[in-house]
Structure 1
Amino acid sequence: MVSLSWQRCRAILGASLPNRCLLCHQTIAAPHRGVCPTCVANSIYQSEVCLGCGKPLTIAAEYCGSCLHHRPIKVVAPASYHSMLGPLIPAIKYQAQFAALPALTAALVARIQHLVAAELLELPQVVLPVPLHRQRLAHRGYNQAWLIANTLAAQLQLPLDDKLLARTSNTPAQAQLTGKQRRQNLSGAFALTRASPYQRIALVDDVVTTGSTVNEIARLLRTSAPSIQVWCLARAEAPKIATL
C-alpha cells in the first residue's frame, strides 16, 4: 500500500470538503475559496482612507490633513483589522489556517491596483517580506509575510527579494506590548545582509498595528530608498479613528 504524506492527505481531505465561507458559512462558488465575495465586499474599506493613519477620507488623496504635514510611510491595506476579516489573520499567522489567504491577498492586489490607477501610489521596484528570526521560522515552519509577498509579487509581476533583510534578534512577540514597548523590543532587531540596490520598496507584512516593525526596517533602508511603502492584509487603526 502506498503511504501518503500528511500534507497530501490534508490536501485531499480539503478538496473533498464543501467550500464554505469562513465568515457566513454559505457555500462558495468556484473559483472563490475561503471567504465569499459578499463577505469580502462588506469587510473592505467602504471609502477612501488616509494612507498614513487609516482615517476615512471623503475624496481620494494620499493623506489626511494631519498626516500631510509629516507624510508618514504609506500603508496599503484592503481592510481594517477591526473588520470581520481581522480574526482570520491570526489564524493564518499562528495556526497555519491558509483558507482565507487567497481572498485576502486578492483584495490587497485590488487595493494596490486601485491606488496605482488613481495615481496615489507608484509600484515599487521590489517586494520585501518582513523576515522572521530563524528560530521562530523553524518553530512555526513558515513565514506568513513571505507567503503574502510571494503571491503579490507573482500577481503584480514584481521581483521578490527575501535575502536582503534578516532578523537578528529573536524578540518576544509583539501582540501584548504597548507602542513604546514594541519600539524598544524591535530596536536593532533587523539588519541588511548587503547594501540595498533599490530606491522604491514595498515591505510586506500580515498586519500593521503601531508601525514599529516597518519603521525599524525603514530606518535601515532610507539611506538608499527614498520611497518605502507597506503592504499588508489589514491595518489596526487607533481606536479613535472610525472606519466606514
Structure 2
Amino acid sequence: MQLLSGSLPNRCLMCHQSIDLPAKGLCAVCLDSGLYHQPICLGCGCGMQIQTRFCGQCMKTQPLNVIAPCSYHKGLGEWIGLIKYQRQFAVLPALSQALVGRILELEALGLLQLPQVLVPVSLHPNRQRERGFNQAWLIADAIHRQLNIPIVTEGLARTLDTQSQAGLTGKQRRQNLSEAFTLTNDFPYQRIALIDDVVTTGATAKEIAGLFEKRHIHVQVWCLARAEAPGVLD
C-alpha cells in the first residue's frame, strides 16, 4: 500500500479544511454529505422507507445484492474516479471505512452474511501493466484490513482485453464483456464478495457472477459507490 500512504493529504480534498489525524482524505462533514441517509434497495439502488433487501420490483427478479455506502452521483463520485484514472488514492481509507460500516449495518439487520473471501474484479494483464495497479484489489485490501476477510486473486481471470466500459450503453457493456472472464474449475469457496470501485449498469458484476453461480457459489457485490439509474433516489 505504498502508493496509498504516499498520497494522503492532511486537508480535506473537497472543502480544503484541515483534517485532524488519523482522519485522511475527506473530513467527516464532506464524507457524511455524500453518504446514503435513507434505506436503499440492494438490487436497483432506489430509496425505500424501511431497510429490507429489495424493493417490491426487485423482489420479483431477485437481482445481485450490491452493497455501497453512497451514490456515485451525490458528490463523491468525482473522487472515486480519481482513484482509477489519476492515481489519487487519498479518499480510499474514508470510503472503504464507510463501506465497511454499511456492510456491518446490513449484517446486523440480518440482510447479508459475510463472505468467506473477497474477490477483486480482475484486470487484463495488458491493462494492469498500463495502469500499474488494480483499484479493485486496493479496495479489497482496505476491507481486508478492517474485517480480516481473506483476499483471493487466483481463480478469476480476465482473458479478453476489452475496450473501456466508459461511455458505452448498457447493451454495449454487456456485449463488450461477453466471455471476457474465466473461472478455474477448482475454486473452493461457497460465498464470495466481488469487489469493485463502482457499479453502474452492473454488466461487469453480472458477467462475473454468472460464472460463480453456475458453480452454486453465492455472490454479493461490494463497491465504493453505485451509479444508479436517474431518478431512483428522488
Inter-partner Cα distance in structure 2 for 1:180 and 1:221: 22
Counterpart of 2:198 (choices 204, 207, 219) is 207
Equivalent position amino acid for 2:77 in 1: G
Q: Indicate the residue corresponding to 2:134 in structure 1.
A: 143
Q: Percent identity, please.
A: 55
- Tell me which residue corresponds to 2:231: 240
Look up the match of 1:179.
Answer: 170
Aligned residue number for residue 154 of structure 1 = 145
Which residue in the other structure is 2:98 paired with? 107
Does the alignment pair 1:98 with 2:71? no
Aligned partner letter, 1:79: C
Does the Cα contact within 8 Å between 1:201 and 1:225 map onto a contact in 2? no
Alignment coverage as a number of residue pairs: 232
> Relative to 1, partners in 2 of residues 1:226 and 1:161: Cα closer, same or farther, differing over 3 Å?
closer
1:61 matched residue in structure 2 = 52
* Alpha-carbon distance in structure 2 between the residues aligned to 1:94 and 1:226: 32
Matched, 1:169 2:160: yes
Give the structure 2 partner of residue 38 of structure 1: 29
What are the ranges of 5 or more consecutive residues in structure 2 without an aligned counterpart?
A: none
| CA contact 2:118–2:150 (8 Å) conserved in 1 | yes
* SS of structure 1 residue aligned to 2:196: strand
Quick check: 151-160 or 130-139, which moved more?
151-160
Q: What's the secondary structure of 1:54's corresponding residue?
A: coil
Q: Within 5 Å, give how 1:78-93 maps onto structure 2.
A: 78-93=69-84
The residue number in structure 2 matching 1:192 is 183
Equivalent residue number for residue 222 of structure 1: 213
Three-state SS of the structure 1 residue aligned to 2:195 is strand
Q: Which amino acid aligns with 2:38?
A: S
Alpha-carbon distance in structure 2 between the residues aligned to 1:233 and 1:27: 24
Q: Deviations over 1:40-80 (max 9, x none)?
A: 11110011100001111111100000001111000000000
Q: Distance in 1 between matches of 2:202 and 2:43?
A: 10
CA distance in 1, matches of 2:151, 2:204: 19
RMSD between aligned alpha carbons? 1.6
What is the DSSP-based 3-state SS (H/G/I as helix, E as strand, rest coil) of the residue aligned with 2:175? helix
Structure 1 counterpart of 2:12: 21
Contact 1:48 1:57 in 2 (8 A): yes
Partner Cα separation in structure 2 for residue 56 and residue 167 of structure 1: 33
Q: Distance in 2 between matches of 1:100 and 1:213?
A: 23
CA displacement at 1:193 relative to structure 2: 3.1
Separation in 1 of the partners of 2:44 and 2:17?
34
Native 8 Å contact 1:44 1:80 kept in 2: yes
Q: In structure 1, list runs of 5 or more residues that go unmatched.
A: 1-6
Shift of 1:195: 2.6
Q: Deviations over 1:192-222 (max 9, x none)?
A: 1343211111000000000000100011100
Secondary structure of 1:86's match? helix
Distance 1:134 1:226 in 2: 25
**Distance in 2 separating the partners of 1:175 and 1:131:** 17
* TM-score normalised by length of structure 2: 0.95
CA distance in structure 2 between the aligned counterparts of 1:63 and 1:24, rounded to whole angstroms = 35
The residue type paired with residue 132 of structure 2 is G
